[in-house]
Homo-oligomer: A and B are copies of this chain.
Amino acid sequence: MGWKSEHKQQTKARILSAAGQLFTRLGYERVSIDDVMAAAGLTRGAFYAHFGSKSELYAEAIVTAAIRARNLLLEPLSESPSVDAIAARYLSPERARDGDARCPLAFLATDIHQRDDQVRDAYTRVLKGFARTLAGNTTAVELSPQTLRQLVLLVGGLALARAVNDPALSQCLLDACRQGVNG
């Protein structure tokens, strides 16, 4: 079973990529399995050959979207980027509007509590990973209060800047949070 299973993995990856972007942009309920499969160039019937349920897809898609967002975020930065450098990119105005590199941590934050443990576990793991990136990938097990505050200023700040219907306030929120991470 050489190519066959490899081709299946590629198909699954295509579904996950489409799902990651759709879910991050629109949330769980506004995206149907039809939407995801159509975006992946397939039809609904093929879905259950790869995933057991929509919720299972969601959990995996969050991880996929987070990896993608993380790569796009850190790509132009140094190998051990400062929190300032991360914040400057993470809190840029394009991200609050519907930029290309949407962060599922910020855009799905309040959606997670409504889902099952599988989804919540995935989100929690990804959030911890981002916190460790902010902490400079130290080997320390504990996350410092300062790192957690920076995490909240980034993720929470981006989420609120996106929610708000007032561009000026949105910009002020991003600026204030960026400044707070630096200080």
Chain A residues within CB distance 8 Å of chain B: 26-27, 29-30, 106-114, 117, 120-121, 123-124, 127-128, 143, 145-146, 148-149, 151-153, 155-157, 159-160, 162-166, 169, 172-173, 175-177, 179-180
- Of B27, B117, B120, B163, the contact of A163 (CB 8 Å cutoff): B120
Q: Which residues of B contact A121 (CB under 8 A)?
A: 165
Q: Copies of this chain, how many? A: 2
Beta-carbon contact of A114 and B172 below 8 Å: no
Other A-B pairs beyond A107-B110, A107-B113, 12, CB < 8 Å: A27-B110, A27-B114, A113-B162, A113-B163, A120-B163, A124-B166, A124-B169, A145-B172, A145-B179, A151-B160, A156-B160, A159-B159
State how many angstroms separate the Cβ of A174 from the closest Cβ of chain B: 9
Q: Contacts A111-B27, A120-B165, A172-B145 hold; do A157 and B159 have CB atoms under 8 A apart?
A: no
Chain B residue with the shortest CB-CB distance to A104: B110
Q: Which residues of B contact A120 (CB under 8 A)?
A: 163-165
A-B contact pairs, 7 of them (CB 8 A): A110-B110, A123-B163, A123-B164, A145-B179, A148-B176, A149-B176, A159-B159
